Amino acid sequence: MEQENTSTELAVIDEIEEAEYEQVENEDMPTGAVPRDVEVEFSDKEKIDMGNAMTELVSEINELESAKKSSNASYTSQIKVKHEQLTELSNELKGGKRLLTKACKKVKDYENKVIIYYDYFSGEELAREDMQEEDFQSTIYEMEEEEIFS
C-alpha cells in the first residue's frame, strides 16, 4: 500500500530543495524530518571559496614556518651560549679552581731564581714561577719600583 505524501511531508521536501543541500543541525531539523548524512557535490562557488581558503591557509602556514625558522635560530644560539656556560662551570667545578684576575705585586727573587706574585692589597703570596732568561734583565721601571717597595 502506497501512502500519499501529506502536506507536512511536502513542506519538508520543499524546505530541503530551498536549502540547496546546506548542513542542517538537529535543533534546526523540521518536525518529522529524520537526520541523514548524504553526499552532495560542491557548487562552482563552493569550489572557488574552498580554493581561496586553501590558498590563504598555505600562505599562513608559510608565514608560520618562516617565523619558526627565525625563532628557532634565535633559540638555537641562546641554547648554544648556555651550553658553553655550563661546560665552563662544569670544568671549573671539576678542577676545583678558576682563573681570577687580581692586582698583584711582582717580586723577582734572584737568589732562588723565582718570581713571586703577592696580592697587592693583602700581601698574600698567590703564585711562584721559575725565572726565564729574559727575567734576569730588569727594566728601568722595575728597578725604580723595587727601590720604592724596598
Condensed to tens digits (0 to 9), the pLDDT of residues 37-81 reads 777 788 899 899 999 999 999 999 999 999 998 888 888 888 999
Domain ranges (residues) in the chain: 1-40, 42-97, 104-149
Name the residue type at position 40: V
Mean pLDDT of the 105-109 span: 89
pTM: 0.38
- pLDDT of 18 > 50? The answer is no
CA distance linking residue 108 with residue 120, whole number of Å = 15
For the chain, give the percent of residues with pLDDT over 70: 72
CB-side exposure of 51: number of CA atoms within 13 Å? Answer: 7
Nearest to 106 by CA among 94, 120, 91: 120
Q: How would you label 26-37 residue by residue, b for 16+ Cβ within 10 Å and e otherwise?
A: eeeeeeebeeee
